Amino acid sequence: MTNKAFKGLSPQEATARVEASLKQRRKKEKRFRLMGLSAVVLALTFLVILFSGILTKGLPGMFQHYVQLDVVLDKARLDPQGDMSDASLFSGDADKIILEASLASIGEEGGRKTKKTLRKMVSSGGSQRLIEFVKANPELMGTTQTIKFAVDDDIDSFLRGFIKRETAEKDRRINDFTIEIVDKWQEAGLISYELSDYLFFGSASRDAEMAGIKGALFGSLLTLAICVSIAFPLGVAAAVYLEEIAPKNRWTEMIEININNLAAVPSVVFGIMGLAIFIVTFGMPRSIPLVGGIVLALMTLPTIIISSRAAIRAVPPSIRDAALGIGASKMQTIFHHVLPLAMPGMLTGTIIGMAQALGETAPLLMIGMVAFIVDIPGGFTDPATVLPVQIFMWADFAERMFIQKTSAAIIVLLAFLITMNAAAIMLRKKLERRW
Amino acid sequence: MTLSTLLILLVAIGVAFYFAGNMTVKTARSKGKVFHSLPNYYGLWAGSLAFFPAVVVLILWSIIDIQLFQSWVRDFYPPEILAAGGSQAIVALAKVENIVAGIRFGEPEAWVLQAGEAWIGWAATSTMLKSAVVLGLATVCGLIAYRQIDTDFRARNGVEKLISYGLIAASTIAILTTIGIVLSVLFETIRFFQLVPPTDFIFGTEWNPQFEGAERAGSGGGEAKYGMLPMFAGTLLISAIAIIVAVPVGLASAVYLAEYASPKVRSTVKPLLEILAGVPTVVYGFFAALTVAPAIKGFGESLGLTVASESALAAGLVMGVMIIPFVSSLSDDVINAVPQSLRDAAYGLGSTKSETTRQVVLPAALPGIVAAVILAVSRAVGETMIVVMAAGLAANLSFNPLDAVTTVTSQIVTILVGDQEFESAKTLSAFALSTMLIILTLGLNFFALQIVKKYREQYD
Amino acid sequence: MENSNIKTTGNVFVDNPRMTARNVDVYYGDKHAIKDVTIDIGEQEVIAFIGPSGCGKSTFLRTLNRMNDTIDICRVEGTISLDGEDIYAPSVDVVPLRARVGMVFQKPNPFPKSIYDNIAYGPRIHGLTKSKSELDDIVESALEKAGLWNEVKDRLDQPGTGLSGGQQQRLCIARAIAVSPEVILMDEPCSALDPIATAKVEELIEELKSQYTIVIVTHSMQQAARVSDRTAYFHLGDLIEVGNTEQIFTNPSHQLTQDYITGRFG
């Protein structure tokens, strides 16, 4: 160094220079702070956009338009064999009776054109609904009853204003004549806009107005039931072994590396494994909740193991010492003391893992849970689909009403997820209070 | 007997032995005998010995017998099918399985009917044998265990030994899963490489498996091409867009929340951000396809640009939003891991908050942040639903974010969902792509963990 | 709280104060950590704060350059001035304040940067230098003053974290000196060091006394006796007694001080 005489700045000089630098630095400070704040605001804006987009589309999707028709419940025609069996009812004239009721609603005898148009205006699920109605109320046979039928999805879209009256007839999905009838219905006050029963109690359907999530919801519940009954015991057992029993050796280390790696494997890969191992090699059927549940269990296992280990580690060693000190065996210590204390933490991890599984789509596509399934699955080996896959399938349909139904299904899915996560957060809070 | 009936019976036998063991010891104890363990443990010993071996046999049997039938049924195939092998054999198997399941399409060939009947016969025999063996095994094992009950018998130690075996078995599931994943892609990948040379696959710049069928039918129409580069380019492009969105926003939010925000703001904003991470990917995909992609197309076209309706930008942006909380929570962890003493040192010298953060905290946390970014990349590379729904299938080798591109994951899904041509190079290519995907994500993960490990050592 | 109005014995005032504290109370949430403390810190003196652990001596030290600001729940009442200016006045910026009142911490905390960058950090952020050679000079003189120059001059580009504990602490002192402060606060600077390193730091304090005002918190009475001119004894948040170090250690006037230095508690 050259300037040996230099002894640093005097405090006064230093203070002056510090003061001189301040203005610039305060500006930088503000800018930096603003940058951070705007990042947070931006992220929250994304959240708001996402949710508001889904809510504005999905809330209307929870409702749909119905038309009230006075239906003559003619026993002879509805139930030709007279035994009220399904076979008899479905061979009956339900469709025709609804058509007659709709003709009556516009006060017309009706030529071929009118009949043809009207047939397309009431949802094709109408006859099913009529049959269910008479099955539930056999004593009303022979009377005339007012029953609500869903309108066809194009009519629904027209009533919501997505299909515009002003559009040239050849460019819109419904013709002028149909609109005339809709107007008549509206004047007569027959059209109502109500919470959609099809959405919650209907199953998969190509007709948007009849499509519902019940089947998918059951599929999700069955799949999740398998998933939790495999992943929770296995996850907890593995966590107990790794935390409390495992010797520090290569084998244990290998298990730990594997768990960390599995946590990073893309979910779609678990689906490929499910396809190759359970379906192709083991010969299990496609599309069933059993296989879906197993695949999701393997996928969520790392999450559960990692959080369960953290929960076990959080149990103070003094408790183990206390139990061992009065002569409890290692297993007794674990099962009587450590596990109960770690349980809230383990459950939190499990709920989070289950929420992850509930929202998962890609691996289930691989094992064929993407099939079009009308029946409500009744068991673990019935073909089924799940809510996210249902959303994926609906998202592919072009009908306007499906967009809304998709969003409505998303709201239901998110409601489940938020409930599960809230439960996890509450559990975690409870856990925090303990220590 | 169906599988579930058998299972229920086994549970019943197990419970019966539990109570038998338990009661025997209780009665003996009331008569003044002294046992090594509590009665409960004798019951558990007898019950679990009755239940578990039988269940293991039941599961193995159920898996193996189908395999056996599948190989036996080949004897019924006409020689030309056996000679053709491959996909024809699989079609034949499917026909037979339909007969077994009671489904008939039209008039099946005679050999199919014979094979089906034979199969049904085997299945009936197997089920009977299985029921007898499994129930017998449960009873015998249960009795043996029950006979062991004695004052000196250390039931607790026995039960604990069993439990510890169970725990070890549970922990090896992780290894078995890994092996399962590797095996499930390995064989098919090798088969694929026998059809398509690895170099063509890895360095090929054209992806066009659509001609596969046409080629085999002899109608020409060009050669099927299996070059993976367009897909990896697409994956890279979309991931890069996602990272460009997620890393600055995620990191800056993490810094703001860790260093500036009041505890109240922090405790509200953090869970809100975590909601973004909890939203299912299919929802993001729907949002990207329905809202973001048209918006970008509209905006781009108003500027006079050509924008594909399924642009990489839309998928990338939405994916970026999805991984913001991932980046921010990982960064938050590493920022909080920077010792307070370093901040104190900087503040003590008169640093402003931003100077402390930029010049002391972030450099110290850098390795951890790099690891977080790598993990985020790995997450983006493996993400499936958003790209399946919003990125399209056009295998363009393009780095223009406004073009439509395809990704590794979306190709895998497209090929493997729905009806597959078994044994075709197209189907096998999905497995080869999966292998590459696994190698890539695990490589990234390994790299990130290595960095984190180094970083931890620095402050331990 | 009881005992909250113990009157300080001895002379808390000096003729030419650098810093003055008047009726200072510090709260951590509901906890009353410092109770009504009044004391002067004189020009170019070394004053030691002693007392049993948890007595508030470190807390009080941290109020002198507002390091307590980094703790959300901490609240300070009363006035503390530096050269007659209230440092808790709303208009005061902590940045120049901390440049004037530097601090050295209990555990050596060098940045994970090179030795050179550690020292240069303060001058850089405060814009103290106009050229690279000026910065070099400041680094050299700071290291020289801290007695570290000869040990590290050949490896200025190596990480500061690679030095020994005692060297690290002297590096931290040099880092504080490099911004030319008026007052240096030292919070138990030797508690993490071995006796030889401690001796070196104490020597250093002796030398720095000619240029800086030094406030040192220590749990070692011997250290206080060795390095300080005046000593203040804190007990449960109260300032019990202040006086010349010699007088405090040979002839304390308060019973609590006497008990402490004769080793009856602490």
Give the C-alpha separation, C111 to C57, whole Å. 26
Which residue type is seen at B341?
S
Q: Is the pLDDT of residue C243 over 50?
A: yes
Q: What string of DSSP letters covers C141-183?
A: HHHHHTT-HHHHTT-TTSBGGGS-HHHHHHHHHHHHHTT--SE
Which domains does chain B show, CATH number per domain? 3-153 (no CATH), 225-459 (1.10.3720.10)
Q: Are B302 and A73 in contact (CB under 8 A)?
A: no
The 10s digit of each residue's pLDDT in C180-204 is 899 999 999 998 888 988 998 999 9
pLDDT interval class at A4 (50, 70, 90)? very low
Alpha-carbon dihedral angle through residues B313, B315, B320, B322, given to the nearest 10 degrees: 160
Q: Do A264 and B256 touch (CB under 8 A)?
A: no
Task: Name chain A contacts of B164, Cβ cutoff 8 Å.
Answer: 241, 245, 331
Q: What is the mean pLDDT of residues C106-127?
A: 90
**How far is the alpha carbon of C7 from chain B, nearest alpha carbon, in Å?**
31
pLDDT at site B457: 67
Using an 8 Å CB-CB cutoff, list residues of chain C that contact chain B.
Answer: 65, 67, 70, 72, 94-99, 102-105, 107, 109-113, 121-122, 125-126, 172, 175-176, 179
B350 touching chain C per CB within 8 A: yes
Q: Do A1 and C137 touch (CB under 8 A)?
A: yes
Q: Indicate whether C57 belongs to any domain.
A: yes
Q: Do A242 and B171 touch (CB under 8 A)?
A: yes
Chains with 3 or more CB pairs under 8 A to chain C: A, B
Q: Which of C220, C224, C264, C262 is nearest to C243 (CA)?
A: C224
Q: Is the pLDDT of residue B215 over 60?
A: no
Q: What is the mean pLDDT of residues B378-400?
A: 87
Cα separations (Å) of B57 from A152, A278, B2? 55, 18, 15
Quote the domain boundaries for residue C189: 9-107+182-261
Q: Are B153 and B36 in contact (CB under 8 A)?
A: yes
- Cα distance between the two ends of chain C: 21
pLDDT at site B86: 61
Q: What is the mean pLDDT of residues C254-259?
A: 90
Tell me the residue ranges of DSSP E strands in A12-120: 63-72
Q: Do A391 and B286 touch (CB under 8 A)?
A: yes
The 10s digit of each residue's pLDDT in C52-78 is 888 889 999 999 989 888 787 889 999
The 10s digit of each residue's pLDDT in B68-105 is 888 888 888 887 777 766 667 777 777 787 777 777 77
Of residues B178, B259, B434, nearest to A272 (C-beta): B434
Q: What is the CATH number of the domain that holds C32?
A: 3.40.50.300
pLDDT at site C216: 95
Q: Are B141 and B53 in contact (CB under 8 A)?
A: yes
Residue C124: Cβ-neighbour burial (10 angstroms; 0-12, 13-18, 19+): middle
Q: Which of B181, B217, B212, B180 is nearest to B195 (CA)?
A: B212
Q: Which of A42, A218, C44, A53 is nearest to B328 (CA)?
A: A42
Backbone angles phi, psi at B422, to 5 degrees: -65, 150
Q: Are A376 and A215 in contact (CB under 8 A)?
A: yes
Q: Which two tokens stand for residue B95?
A: 């026909």
> Into how many domains does chain C fold?
1
Least confident of B9-23, B292-306, B387-401, B403-417: B387-401
Give the C-alpha separation, B126 to A314, whole Å. 50
**Which one is predicted more confidently, A47 or B215?**
A47
Q: Do B438 and A298 touch (CB under 8 A)?
A: no
Q: Which of A89, A123, A124, A117 is nearest to A103 (CA)?
A: A117
Q: Do C128 and A1 touch (CB under 8 A)?
A: no
Place of tokens 């338009």: A65
Give the C-alpha separation, C128 to A8, whole Å. 10
Which residue type is seen at C47?
I
Q: Do B342 and C179 touch (CB under 8 A)?
A: no
The 10s digit of each residue's pLDDT in B335-359 is 988 888 999 999 999 899 999 999 9
The 10s digit of each residue's pLDDT in A374-385 is 778 888 888 889
pLDDT at site B10: 93
Q: Which two tokens stand for residue C157?
A: 């580009």
Q: Are B330 and B247 in contact (CB under 8 A)?
A: no
Task: Name chain A contacts of B154, Cβ cutoff 8 Å.
Answer: none
Q: Is the pLDDT of residue A435 over 50?
A: no
At how many degrees (to 10) do helices B340-348 and C165-177 cross? 30
Q: Do C96 and B341 touch (CB under 8 A)?
A: no
pLDDT at site B79: 79
CA angle C260, C262, C266 (to 5 degrees): 35
pLDDT at site B64: 85
Characterize the bridge pairing of strands C230-235 and C9-10.
unpaired
pLDDT at site A225: 95
Name which of A17, A287, A392, A428 to mutate to probe chain B: the one with the most chain B Cβ atoms within 10 A of its Cβ. A392
Backbone angles phi, psi at B352, to 5 degrees: -80, 170
Q: Is the pLDDT of residue A239 over 60?
A: yes
Q: In this structure, which topology does domain A214-434 adopt according to CATH?
A: MetI-like fold (1.10.3720)
Least confident of A167-181, B251-265, C184-198: A167-181
Chains with 3 or more CB pairs under 8 A to chain B: A, C
B34-38, B223-227, C212-216, range with greatest mean pLDDT? C212-216
Cα separations (Å) of B269 from B245, B277, B331, C45? 19, 13, 15, 49
Place of tokens 């690679």: C162
Give the C-alpha separation, A40 to A404, whole Å. 30
Cα separations (Å) of C179 from A13, A48, C97, C207, C212? 10, 47, 12, 18, 12
pLDDT interval class at A9 (50, 70, 90)? confident
Q: Indicate whether C248 belongs to any domain.
A: yes
Q: Is the pLDDT of residue A202 over 80?
A: no
Which residue type is seen at C36?
D
What is the 3-state secondary structure of chain B?
A: CCHHHHHHHHHHHHHHHHHHHHHHHHHHHHCCCCCCCCHHHHHHHHHHHHHHHHHHHHHHHHHHHHHHHHHHHHHHCCHHHHHHCHHHHHHHHHHHHHHHHCCCCCCCCHHHHHHHHHHHHHHHHHHHHHHHHHHHHHHHHHHHHHHHCCCCCCHHHHHHHHHHHHHHHHHHHHHHHHHHHHHHHHHHHHHHHHHCCHHHHHHCCCEECCHHHHHHHCCCCCCCEECCHHHHHHHHHHHHHHHHHHHHHHHHHHHHHHHHCCHHHHHHHHHHHHHHHHCCHHHHHHHHHHHHHHHHHHHHHHCCCCCCCCCHHHHHHHHHHHHHHHHHHHHHHHHHHCCHHHHHHHHHCCCCHHHHHHHHHHHHHHHHHHHHHHHHHHHHHHCCHHHHHHCCCCCCCCCCCCCCCCCHHHHHHHHHCCCCCCCCHHHHHHHHHHHHHHHHHHHHHHHHHHHHHHHHHHHC
Across all residues in chain A, what is the average pLDDT? 86
Of all residues in chain A, the percent with pLDDT exceeding 90 is 31
B345, closest residue in chain C (CA to CA): C109
pLDDT at site A1: 39
Q: Which two tokens stand for residue B243?
A: 């990272």
The 10s digit of each residue's pLDDT in A43-68 is 999 999 999 988 998 888 888 899 98
Q: Do A53 and B417 touch (CB under 8 A)?
A: no
Give the C-alpha separation, A119 to A101, whole Å. 11
Q: Indicate whether C254 belongs to any domain.
A: yes
- Domain positions in chain A: 65-194, 214-434
pLDDT at site C5: 59
The 10s digit of each residue's pLDDT in A259-289 is 988 988 999 999 999 998 888 888 788 889 9
**Which one is predicted more confidently, A110 or B50?**
B50
Q: Is the pLDDT of residue B222 over 70?
A: no
Q: Indicate whether C166 belongs to any domain.
A: no
Give the C-alpha separation, B160 to A331, whole Å. 6
The 10s digit of each residue's pLDDT in A337-365 is 899 889 888 998 999 999 999 999 999 99
At how many degrees (to 10) do helices B3-30 and B39-72 cross? 160
C103, closest residue in chain B (CA to CA): B348
Q: Is the pLDDT of residue B246 over 90?
A: yes
